[in-house]
Amino acid sequence: MARWLLTGGAGYIGSHVLRELAASGREVVVVDDLSTGIASRVPDGVPLVEMNLSDSNLVTVMRDYQISGVVHLAAKKAVGESVERPLHYYRENVDGIASLLEAINEVGIGNLVYSSSAAVYGEPVNGEVGEDEPTVPTSPYGETKLVGEWAARAVAKARRLEGGGLSNVSLRYFNVAGAGAANLGDTSVANLIPLALRAVTNGERPQIFGSDYPTPDGTCIRDYIHVVDLAKAHVVAAALCESDNPGELSEVFNVGRGQGSSVREVLDTVSRAIGRDVDPRDVERRPGDPAVLVARTEKINADLGWEAELDLTAMVESAWSAWSPKP
């Protein structure tokens, strides 16, 4: 049976990917330093190795568990923090994938699925982005995610020149939301829905950063993707890598719904989910927020046969069910 190493498997998204990989019949081993992860998200029976990616014992873990592929999610992800602490982000995210790739090479692992982000697009002129859109990240976080894609691709190329291969797929996630179970919610409170739920919990009004954008209701439009749909995309990406022989695949896919929702629409959905008006407050725009950022998803739909199934209401309702404490 195929056994995959999942880095960041104790994290919000990783814990969902873990469950979908396991449901697909693959064995999973988690490596996570628990810097933002929660050990109890990893179910009993799944090995959790508490380790930073820079730890030289990574090779031993891969050998001991006879790992055949890696899904790499372990990273720092707060855009604002990355602006304040760029070197921390370069160390954790860029040094992190470099260490991982060294270990992958040393052990001779042939499959890699990498967690990238829509942040690699920065502030595109055209709000609907395909994978061929220029990548111009506007934060150190986005830069580190893009460097990760490049590193995976470059290592794969070098291995092909040596007669080997590293089938690799980078998934550019759009705005991830929702929860697959009550104990798997997003606790980081960095994205719109957790921010709104926290405001409600604290008896505050959620903020809308900018209501004078050139969009129908004046607020920013984003592409929200349910974390369970996103997790399933990793399974089809892993299967694509496994089917690629002798390791020539190097692909990038957007993972979104291909549908935009405005900040106001999301907050209206939150009001419906919690049963009362959250009464948002309009405040100034934040620097660096593009008016519209929505994925074009034709490539992943066609090449991976993957399509998102869950809508915004499902995301908000599941996020609310997983939210604690409630007011």
Ligand X SMILES: NC(=O)c1ccc[n+]([C@@H]2O[C@H](COP(=O)([O-])OP(=O)(O)OC[C@H]3O[C@@H](n4cnc5c(N)ncnc54)[C@H](O)[C@@H]3O)[C@@H](O)[C@H]2O)c1
Residue type, 211: S
The SS3 assignment for 50 reads strand
Classify the C-alpha dihedral 93-98-103-109 as positive or negative: positive
Q: Does residue 17 touch ligand X according to CB under 6 A?
A: no
Residue 29's nearest CA partner among 56, 66, 76, 78 is 66
Among 3, 22, 27, 34, the residue binding ligand X under the rule CB under 6 A is 34
State which of positions 192-231 bind ligand X (CB under 6 A): none
- Euclidean distance between CA atoms 208 and 224, whole angstroms: 17
Cβ proximity to ligand X, 129 vs 165, nearer residue: 129
Q: Does residue 8 touch ligand X according to CB under 6 A?
A: yes
Q: Does residue 137 touch ligand X according to CB under 6 A?
A: no
- Euclidean distance between CA atoms 178 and 311, whole angstroms: 10
Q: Which helix (H) or strand (E) holds 144?
A: helix 140-161
Q: Which of these is catalytic: 12, 89, 141, 224?
A: 141
- Euclidean distance between CA atoms 154 and 56, whole angstroms: 22
* 141 a catalytic residue: yes
Among 24, 36, 105, 138, the residue binding ligand X under the rule CB under 6 A is 36
State which of positions 245-264 bind ligand X (CB under 6 A): none
The SS3 assignment for 168 reads strand
The SS3 assignment for 265 reads helix
Cβ proximity to ligand X, 42 vs 247, nearer residue: 42
Classify the C-alpha dihedral 26-302-154-94 as positive or negative: negative
Q: Does residue 115 touch ligand X according to CB under 6 A?
A: yes
Which one of 29-37, 150-158, 162-170, 313-321 is the stretch in contact with ligand X (CB under 6 A)? 29-37
Among 48, 94, 176, 274, the residue binding ligand X under the rule CB under 6 A is 176
**How buried is residue 182: exposed, middle or buried, by Cβ count under 10 Å (0-12/13-18/19+)?**
exposed
Cβ proximity to ligand X, 54 vs 321, nearer residue: 54
Q: Does residue 4 touch ligand X according to CB under 6 A?
A: no
Q: Does residue 73 touch ligand X according to CB under 6 A?
A: yes
Active site positions, annotated:
141
**Residues found near ligand X in the complex (CB under 6 A):** 8, 10-14, 32-37, 52-53, 73-77, 92, 96, 115, 117, 145, 173, 175-176, 188, 191
